[in-house]
A = this chain, B = another copy of it.
Amino acid sequence: MRAAIFRGPGEITVEEVPKPEVESPTDAVVRVTHTAVCGSDLWFYRGESDREEGSRVGHEPMGIVETIGEDVRSVEPGDRVFAPFLQSCGRCEFCRKGLHTSCVNGDRWNDENGGGQGEYVRATEADGTLVRVPDRHADDEDTLEALLPLTDVMGTGHHAAVSAGVDEGDTCIVVGDGAVGLCGVLAARRLGAERIVAMGHHEDRLELARAFGATETISARGEEAVEQARETTYGGATHVMECVGAASAMETAIDVCRPGGTVGYVGVPHGVNEDGLDLFGMFGDNITLSGGVAPVRAYAEDLMADVLQGTLDPSPIFTKTVDLDGVPEGYRAMDERDAIKVLVKP
């Protein structure tokens, strides 16, 4: 089969690799029909984080189950399924409490089981990992494109909202206008937030934020942005969603958080340790920092129900579609911000 491979910063290739097969009774092999390029992929693409050269990439697979191991109960060959960016068993302490990202039997998508950006993947804990799309929706392309973000960014935006404690009638601030931030706006609206202030730097993305439910947007930078956010919220919001992960965004999130409030953070921390986190500012204002890598598997069924009933549609974040050969171009487009998020149809 063919799959996307990381060959060094700025260089993604599509190469022939061994096709994954069922190896253990809990495995399922899935033919990937839809996947995506993730903002978190840009860190290694830009050389800002380490990744082994020659490794397979991608972690947001959706497709058709091809074969299953003998212990697999929840899916059958022919089922349309999607999977979170991390695999999880569904039966350990952490899966049962909804923290599938800490699964003791979990695994990443990797060279062994196939990166997400390829023709096939092998789910090593198929029952715990794969989410089955009901048959009546399984071939509806619009629905599938609306479901695909549940593999990562929609669940992550939702985790930011949940972690920040967003509830009915609340005012919240969303820091970041990337795919996660935009999904965060959708999530906050879905949870009933009354005022959603989206902060970002790109007018087209902030326009999408407004379409997604942001009641206000702030496009200024640095201290001016913080001042505008504080002014419009009369001193900061009690619920702030940090959807970037960069040190500057984390600093902004803490700065616009009201004393006693909570910053829900979900962006992979990047440069925060080097540049320092303003712990002293958090300390003085009793700001809670909550969140982390999003257990999107925990949220998949609830969010899917909303997508299937037509009340949630994150698919407008896909502003570009490529086939497998187009994956390198997809990385380039996201790196250069020509696309918010790239849909891949292998």
Contact = CB atoms under 8 A, between A and B. Distances in A.
B293 A283 contact: yes
A288 interface: yes
Interface string A265-293: 10011001110111110111111111111
Contacts of A283: 265, 268-269, 291-293
A200 interface: no
A295 B288 contact: no
Contacts of A277: 273, 277, 279
Nearest to A101: B286
Contacts of A102: 259-260, 284-286
Contact of A260 (B99, B268, B280): B99
A136 interface: no
A94 interface: yes
A260 B290 contact: no
A73 interface: no
A279 B269 contact: yes
Given A102-B286, A284-B293, A290-B288, A94 B273 contact: no
Nearest to A277: B277
Given A102-B260, A273-B278, A286-B293, 5 more contacts: A99-B286, A101-B286, A273-B279, A276-B276, A284-B292
Interface in A27-79: none
A103 to B, nearest CB: 10
Contacts of A272: 279
Interface in A270-326: 272-274, 276-280, 282-293, 295
A245 to B, nearest CB: 9
Contacts of A291: 283, 286, 288
A40 to B, nearest CB: 12
A286 to B, nearest CB: 4
Contacts of A278: 273
Contact of A273 (B97, B269, B276, B284): B276
Contacts of A292: 282-287
Contacts of A288: 163, 288-291
Contact of A286 (B280, B284, B295): B295
Nearest to A280: B269
A317 to B, nearest CB: 23
Interface in A227-279: 259-260, 265, 268-269, 272-274, 276-279
Interface in A79-115: 94, 97, 99, 101-102
Interface string A189-232: 00000000000000000000000000000000000000000000
Contacts of A276: 273-274, 276
A140 B265 CA distance: 49
A30 to B, nearest CB: 26
A278 B94 CA distance: 21
A260 B94 contact: yes
